[in-house]
Amino acid sequence: MTAIYLRKKETTLQRFSKVNLHPADPIEALASLVAKANDLLNRPVIQPQDGAEGRAGLDGKDGRDGVDGKDGKDGERGAVGPKGDPGERGPRGEIGLQGPAGDIGPQGLPGLDGKVGARGIPGVKGEAGPVGPMPKHEIKDTKIRFETPDGWGPWIETQGRQGIGGFNGAAGAAGAAGQSAHQAILDGSSSE
């Protein structure tokens, strides 16, 4: 960019050097200078442009390993770390001696009912109890009904259906001889 600028500057000086600084007509000389200046200002300025990026260079060889440094001093003791996971369960130990008997604990809750056992032998029949009070009832013709906690119960028919006729019985023994009506009157009079 500097070289372009210098060339442009040299060209401008060369053009101004051709102008007669002591012309016969000063106005004509001034007009010529203005025309030269306008011509220079109206020309496009060349803008600089970046060139294409060059190829990447090869990587250099690795340097030699340095000498190991001396061990530093022991640091201060750090804080206690978090609690680790529980370890695996160890083998079962030997059975120890039996300890003394402990205090009796509180009584536990009642257990569940057991299964129903086998039926026992029937007991001796007891004596008949006294007759209970007669329940309140009503009778209508051949029907009867009893009072219940919810009111009166239904009417119950107590008379059954007529049975089948029985067989003819054997003939009875002959009766004693009867008296006539006249004799019965006489007997009644004599008894008075």
- Provide the pLDDT for residue 44: 61
The torsion angles phi and psi of 140, rounded to 5 degrees, stand at -140, 110
* Interatomic CA distance for residues 5 and 7, integer angstroms: 5
Angle, helices 2-17/26-41, rounded to nearest 10 degrees: 160
**Where exactly are the structural domains of the chain?**
2-41
For the chain, how many residues are written?
Answer: 192
* Interatomic CA distance for residues 158 and 191, integer angstroms: 52
- Provide the pLDDT for residue 6: 42
- Provide the pLDDT for residue 184: 58
The per-residue pLDDT for range 90-137, each reduced to its tens digit, is 888 888 888 888 888 898 888 888 888 888 898 888 898 888 888 898
- Provide the pLDDT for residue 3: 43
* Interatomic CA distance for residues 164 and 119, integer angstroms: 46
- Provide the pLDDT for residue 14: 52
Spatial contact of 15 and 36, defined as CB atoms under 8 Å apart: yes
- Provide the pLDDT for residue 143: 92
> 99-117 in b/e burial notation, b at 16+ Cβ within 10 A?
eeeeeeeeeeeeeeeeeee
- Provide the pLDDT for residue 131: 85
- Provide the pLDDT for residue 180: 60
- Provide the pLDDT for residue 175: 67
- Provide the pLDDT for residue 18: 52
Q: What Cα–Cα distance (Å) separates residue 7 from each residue in 12, 17, 44?
A: 9, 15, 15
Residues of the chain falling short of pLDDT 70: 1-25, 43-49, 51, 166, 169, 172, 175-192
What amino acid is encoded at 178 in this protein?
A: G
- Provide the pLDDT for residue 187: 62
40: which residues sit within 8 A by CB, 6+ positions away? 12, 15
